[in-house]
Amino acid sequence: MRAGGRHEGMGTHNRIVPLGGGYLELLAVADPDEAAGSPLGSALLRRIETVGEGLLGYAVAVDDVDAAARRVGATVSTIARDGFRGRLAAVEEALSEPCLPFFLHRSRHIPDPGAGADPGGIAWLEVAGDAARLAAWLGGADLPIRVVDGPPAVRALGIGERRVIHADGRMEVA
């Protein structure tokens, strides 16, 4: 696990679990009042109040976050912490319908937080929700996402060839 930092103006902070070719971002509320006024912070507060801990959502890295935002009719925001600066699109939409990702663009000079680890990266992601809506949301991108029936949620992810993390936080070797 690596230190992350405090997200400026979001009321949240994080830790990074590098996976090589991807990473898990562990989010927490640093300042509830500030979090209530930001899209990410307010979504995290809602999730904790209604569901508790677990997989909240996921991001897809894109080269052109403005084009992704236009395609899905969403807004773009900026996230910054300790030397990291990124632009996000569709955070509110994705966190209210968690089978959909939000979109992230970070400058090329900012290294991938998942780099340098050797668990094999994120092999696949399983979400519950509307497969056709997800395909349209992704604009034709071919990603290793499994869609199952059920209310919108991030259900599980595979790390490398053998590890599985479930929405309830359980980890198993498969």
**Which pLDDT band, with edges at 50, 70 and 90, does 21 fall under?**
confident
Opening angle at CA 86, ends 85 and 91, nearest 5? 135
- Please report, to the nearest 10 degrees, the dihedral formed by the alpha carbons of residues 3, 24, 136, 99 taken in order: -120
Q: Residue 132: phi, psi to the nearest 5?
A: -65, -40
Q: Which of 11-25, 45-59, 82-96, 100-114 has the lowest mean pLDDT?
A: 100-114
Q: What integer best gives the mean pLDDT of the chain?
A: 86
Give the bridge partners for 106, in sequence order: 86
The two structure tokens encoding residue 143: 């990603």
Q: What is the CATH number of the domain that holds 69?
A: 3.10.180
Reduced to 3 states (helix: H, G, I; strand: E, B; else coil), residue 131 is helix
pLDDT tens digits for 34-84?
Answer: 999 998 898 889 888 988 888 888 999 899 999 999 999 999 988 888 777
The count of domains in the chain is 1
The two structure tokens encoding residue 79: 């996230």
**Which pLDDT band, with edges at 50, 70 and 90, does 171 fall under?**
low
**Which pLDDT band, with edges at 50, 70 and 90, does 174 fall under?**
low
Question: What mean pLDDT comes out for the span 163-174?
Answer: 66
Beta strands 84-89 and 122-128, pairing class:
unpaired
**Which pLDDT band, with edges at 50, 70 and 90, does 101 fall under?**
very high
User: What's the domain range around 76?
Assistant: 2-173
Per-residue b/e over 12-34, b at no fewer than 16 CB within 10 Å?
Answer: bbbebbbbbbbbbeebebbeeeb
User: If we measure between CA atoms, which residue out of 93, 167, 77 comes closest to residue 125?
Assistant: 167
